Structure 1
Amino acid sequence: MTFHAIIVAGGSGTRTGGRKQWMPLGGKPVLDWSVEAFAEAGAAHIVVVVPEDDLDRARARYSTMARVVTGGADRAASVGNGIDALMTMAALDDVVMIHDAARPLLKPHHIKTLNAVLEVSRAAVLALPLTDSLKRGEDGRIVDAPSREGLWRAQTPQAFRLGDIAEAYSTWDGPAPTDEATAAAAAGIEVALAEGDMRLHKLTYPDDFALLEAFIAQEKSMTQIRIGQGFDAHRWGDGQSVWLCGVEIAHDKTLIGHSDADAGLHALTDALLGAVGLGDIGDHFPPTDPQWKGASSDRFLRHAVELIAEKGGEIVNVDVTLICERPKVKPHREAMRARVADILGIDLDRVSVKATTTEKMGFTGREEGLAAQAVCAVSMPL
C-alpha cells in the first residue's frame, strides 16, 4: 500500500520551555525520531511542517528524506499546509498518515498496524481505551462524574485517503479541529480505531521528557544482539562487467548465477536472515523459480531488511569481505559501502566492505570464481 506522511512540528513549545521538536531525546532531536520511523517504514513521501524561522534548519537536516514546509497559525492550519504540499506529489486515493512530532517514539510496527486496518477501512486512528475515572469540576470541586465507557484517547498517526482528508478540511466550518479524525467524522468519513501504544505519549510538559527517556532506556535493556554470518561464491564466465555489493564494475569477466550473481549482497542477505532465524536466501528466492532469473540482488537484501523490521529488529552493523584476485575492489569500496547503507537504511559508519586475495591459492586464486563472506549484528526485542 502506497502511503505518505505529514509530520506536524510547528508549535512554539511554551509548556516545555522551548521548541520541543529540537530538544534532545535519547541522544537526538525529538523530530528525528518521527522522520526516521516513517522513512524506515517505507513512506513514499514525507512532509515536515515547521515554523517559518525553522525552515533553514529543518531543510538542512532533512532535505534528503523529506519536504519541509511552513506551518500555520495553529495545528489545523499546519496540517492544511502539509496536505497542500502532498497534493502535488501523491494520488488522491493514496494513504496519508498525519503525525505529531511531539509523539516521538513512533515505530514501523505502529505504521504497519494502521496500514492493515486501512485494507478494510477508509480511515483509522491509533487510540487507547480510557482507564482513568472522569470528573467534571467547577470552582475547584467535583460537580459530575461522566462515564468513561466507550471513551478512547486518540493518538497519532491518524491515517486517511489523501482526497478524503483534503475535502474534510476544505469543508470544515467552525473552530479549528483538535485533530484530523474530528474533521473527517464531520465530513461523514467513518474512522476506525486501531490499537495504540502508551509509548506514543505526547510531549507536553518538561516531566514528559523523563518519562520517554525511561521508555527508551527500557527498550534498550529489553533487547538482545543476534549475530549472523553468510557465505556465497560464483564462478567466472564471459562478460564485460560484474555486480559486487550493488555496484556494477567494468571487468573482462562476469559472475554466473541465476540472478545477477552479486556474491556480496547474497552473503549479506544470508547473514541477516540467519541472525533472525529465517533460513537462507534460497528459501525465499529459489533458484528454480524463473521470476528471479537475472534479478537485481538488492531486492533480496531489501526483503531481509523488511522481515527484520517486521520482527521489531534493528540492524546494528554489517561487514562484508570479497575474496578475489580481480577486479580490484578498493577503488569501488566507498561506492559499495554507500550502496549497501542505502539499501539497509542505516548510517554509512555501520557498513564495512573489505577485500582480500588467497595468494593465488584455491579457486579464487586461480580466478575460477569469486567468494564473499558477511557478518552482521542485529538488535532484537526479547
Structure 2
Amino acid sequence: MKLGIVIVAAGRGERAGSPEEGPKQYRSIGGRAVIEHTLARFLSWNDTSPIVVVSHADDAALLSPILQRLSAGARILVVTGGASRQQSVLAGLEALASEEPTHVMIHDGVRPFVDADMLDRIVALHAAGADVVLPALAVTDTLKRGDDGHAVETVSRQGLYAAQTPQSFAYRDILAAHRAAAASGKTDFTDDASIAEWAGIPVVLTEGSVDNVKLTLKRDITMADEKLSLGLPDVRTGNGYDVHQLEAGDGVTLCGIFIEHNQRLKGHSDADVALHALTDALLATCGAGDIGDHFPPSDPQWKGAASRIFLEHAAKVVRDNGGTIMNADVSLIAEAPRIGPHRQAMREALSDMLGIALERCSVKATTNETIGFVGRREGIAAIATATVVYRGRPL
C-alpha cells in the first residue's frame, strides 16, 4: 500500500476571531502554528508518504517558514485551494496523481491532535480490504430538534456518530467520486465520506479520538494553547521482576528468542522470564494488575503458550488506556547461556512485539558472580522497565 496525505488548510476561519488575527490554521498554540502541529504529527508517524498541503493563495508567507522548520519541504507539495473545501480537496487529490498512491488520507489542517494509534487503525482496515475508512465517535449527548426557539422533539442518538478526519480512501475511487461530484455541480457535501456515500462506495467506521478536536472557534484555539503550554506530560514508568527455575532440557526462550542450552526454564507457559517481567512493567503504568491477573497459570489454555501473547496483550492494554510506549528495557541475570550473541535478535523481537522503534528497545545481561540460585544455575531472573506517555491524563 502506498499512502498519500492531503492536508486541507485553505479556509479563512471566520468563526475563530477577527480577520486581523489571521487564519486559524496559523494561530499559535503551544508556541507553534496550528498547522505546524498537524504536519508534525503526520511526519512523526510516517515520514515517507507524500503530503499535499492545500493552502490559500494569500498564505504563502505564513506556510513557507513552517515547512523550513520541519525540514521536510522537499516531500511536502503545496497547492492552491478553491472557493470551497470540496474544491480544495479535489485540487489536493489531483496534485497527488504523479505520486500514484493506492490510498489517501484527507485531514483538516486545524485538527492538530490526531494520534498515531488512530492512524494505525485506519491503515489496518485498508489492509483488511476497506476502501473507505471514517474515524468517528458515537454521539453521547441527548439530541433535540428545535423550531422557532423551542425544543419540539427528542431525536434518538442510536446509531449516530460524529465524523472526524483523517478520512481515508482508495485513491482512484475518491478522485473519481470528487471529479464526478464537481461535474454534476453538486456542492453541498459536508465531508469527503459523504461524497463516497453519494458515489455508492461503502464506508467503514473506526473509533475516532476524543482528543482529535477540530479548532473552529476562538475559544477552541485558546483551550488548545493552554493544553500545550501549561499541561504537564503524563510520563509513567513501570517495573517488573520475574524468575523461573531451570531444569534439564534443550534450550531456553528469552525475549522471544530460543537459545540452545543443556537446560530449560520451567513454567506453565514457555517460561520466557524476560517477557513476563516486561509484561508486568507495562501493566504497571496504567494500574492494570499483573500478568497473573490476565493469564492465570491455573488456566490450561496458557500451558506452553508463547509469552509474546502476554506482552502484546499488555501493549494493547496500554494503548487502549491512551498510552504510547516510549521505551522498554530488560536486564537478564543468568550464568548461562550467553546472551550477547542473541541481544540484537532479542531487541528486534521486542521492537516487533511492541510496535516501537528498535532504538527504544534495550536488552542487557549480567551474571550473578556464582552467588545464590542464579550463580548455582538453578534459575534465571529478569528485571524490566517500561516508560509510557499517556495522553489527556494530567498529573
Q: Distance in 2 between matches of 1:367 and 1:25?
A: 59
> Secondary structure, in 3 states, of the residue corresponding to 2:380?
strand
What is the aligned-residue RMSD (CA, Å)?
5.6
> Secondary structure, in 3 states, of the residue corresponding to 2:370?
coil
Give the letter for the 1:76 counterpart: L
| Stretches of structure 2 lacking an aligned partner (at least 5 in a row) | 12-21, 54-66, 81-87, 126-131, 142-148, 156-160
Q: Distance in 2 between matches of 1:314 and 1:100?
A: 23
Q: Is the 8 A contact 2:2 2:101 kept in 1?
A: no
Give the letter for the 1:293 counterpart: G
Q: Is the 8 A contact 1:71 1:77 kept in 2?
A: no
1:31 alignment partner in structure 2: 39
Q: Is the 8 A contact 1:243 1:260 kept in 2?
A: yes
Q: Distance in 2 between matches of 1:220 and 1:214?
A: 11
1:233 alignment partner in structure 2: 244
1:49 alignment partner in structure 2: 51
1:65 alignment partner in structure 2: none
2:92 alignment partner in structure 1: 78
2:181 alignment partner in structure 1: 172
Aligned residue among 339, 342, 364 for 2:374: 364
Residue 326 of structure 1 and its aligned partner are, at CA, apart by 1.6
Q: Is the 8 A contact 1:34 1:104 kept in 2?
A: no
The answer to which of 153-162 and 313-322 deviates more is 153-162
> Secondary structure, in 3 states, of the residue corresponding to 2:196?
helix
Work out whether 1:269 is the aligned partner of 2:279.
Answer: yes
Over 3 Å counting, the alpha-carbon distance change for 1:337 and 1:369 in structure 2 is same
Give the letter for the 1:187 counterpart: A
Give the letter for the 1:103 counterpart: R
> Secondary structure, in 3 states, of the residue corresponding to 1:363?
helix
> Secondary structure, in 3 states, of the residue corresponding to 2:281?
helix
Q: Distance in 2 between matches of 1:254 and 1:7?
A: 52
Over 3 Å counting, the alpha-carbon distance change for 1:83 and 1:253 in structure 2 is farther
2:264 alignment partner in structure 1: 255
2:336 alignment partner in structure 1: 326
Q: Distance in 2 between matches of 1:265 and 1:158?
A: 37
Residue 333 of structure 1 and its aligned partner are, at CA, apart by 3.3
> Secondary structure, in 3 states, of the residue corresponding to 2:193?
helix
Over 3 Å counting, the alpha-carbon distance change for 1:306 and 1:6 in structure 2 is farther
| Percentage of matched positions with identical amino acids | 36
Residue 267 of structure 1 and its aligned partner are, at CA, apart by 0.9
Give the letter for the 2:89 counterpart: R
Over 3 Å counting, the alpha-carbon distance change for 1:189 and 1:309 in structure 2 is same
Q: Is the 8 A contact 2:3 2:105 kept in 1?
A: yes
TM-score between both structures, scaled by the size of structure 2: 0.60
Give the letter for the 2:289 counterpart: G
Q: Distance in 2 between matches of 1:217 and 1:305?
A: 29
Q: Distance in 1 between matches of 2:335 and 2:280?
A: 23
2:196 alignment partner in structure 1: 184
Q: Distance in 2 between matches of 1:236 and 1:342?
A: 29
Over 3 Å counting, the alpha-carbon distance change for 1:243 and 1:124 in structure 2 is same
Give the letter for the 1:306 counterpart: K
Over 3 Å counting, the alpha-carbon distance change for 1:231 and 1:311 in structure 2 is same
